[in-house]
């Protein structure tokens, strides 16, 4: 059984040892946008929010989710920047239910996920649709 919990910004250092391996695993997929310390610093500065799936049977943290609010001129968007962990299929549904509530309470217009192509298939099942591709090139 899993619970998904937000981590207060002041407690990041207590949780960091539990999520360190997940950050190491997901950072290479950010395309050089982030290093681990950027994420930690962003959470400490309250620019990002940290969520963790807690395995209540094992009393363990089995993943990491990092979000932020992105404010465009005409929309407020709940952005899921990073999501990684073990047993994802076990905590995926409660995670997204909770994140939708957070987005709604914060009057967001959209939720967006930045991630690998595999997320397109997974998120389609819960109402996300692919509206554009992000294509990039180094200068």
CA–chain centroid gap for 109, Å, is 18
pLDDT tens digit sequence for 55-73: 999 999 999 999 999 999 9
Strand 49-55 and strand 2-7: the pairing is antiparallel
| Residue 133: predicted pLDDT | 65
Element (H, E) at 17: helix 12-26
Which DSSP category does 13 fall into? Answer: H
Does 136 have pLDDT greater than 90?
no
At a CB cut-off of 8 Å and minimum separation 6, what does 97 contact? none
| Chain segment 81-129, per-residue pLDDT in tens | 999 999 999 998 889 889 989 999 999 999 888 777 777 777 777 787 7
Helical pair 36-44 and 12-26, crossing angle rounded to 10 deg: 150
What homologous superfamily does CATH list for 2-124? Gcn5-related N-acetyltransferase (GNAT) (3.40.630.30)
The whole-number pLDDT of residue 17 equals 95
> pLDDT band for position 139 (50/70/90)?
very low
For residue 112, the model assigns a pLDDT of: 87
Answer whether 81's CB lies under 8 Å from 31's CB.
no
CA distances in angstroms from 134 to 17, 23, 31, 110, listed in the order given: 32, 22, 12, 17
Pick from 99, 88, 91, 85: which is nearest to 23 by CA?
85
Q: What is the pLDDT of residues 3-52, one digit of tens each?
A: 999 999 889 999 999 999 999 999 998 888 999 999 999 999 999 999 99
């Amino acid at each position: 059984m899993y619970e998904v919990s937000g981590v207060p910004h002041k407690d990041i250092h207590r949780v960091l040892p539990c999520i360190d391996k997940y950050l190491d695993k997901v950072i290479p997929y950010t395309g050089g946008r982030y290093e681990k310390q950027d994420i930690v610093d962003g959470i400490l500065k309250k620019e990002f929010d940290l969520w963790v799936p807690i395995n209540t049977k094992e009393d363990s943290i089995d993943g990491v989710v990092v979000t932020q609010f992105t404010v465009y001129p005409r929309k407020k968007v709940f952005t899921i920047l990073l999501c990684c962990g073990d047993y994802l299929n076990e905590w995926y549904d409660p995670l997204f239910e909770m994140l939708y509530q957070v987005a709604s309470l914060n009057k967001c217009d959209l939720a967006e996920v930045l991630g690998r192509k595999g997320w397109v298939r997974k998120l389609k099942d819960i109402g996300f649709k692919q509206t554009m591709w992000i294509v990039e090139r180094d200068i």
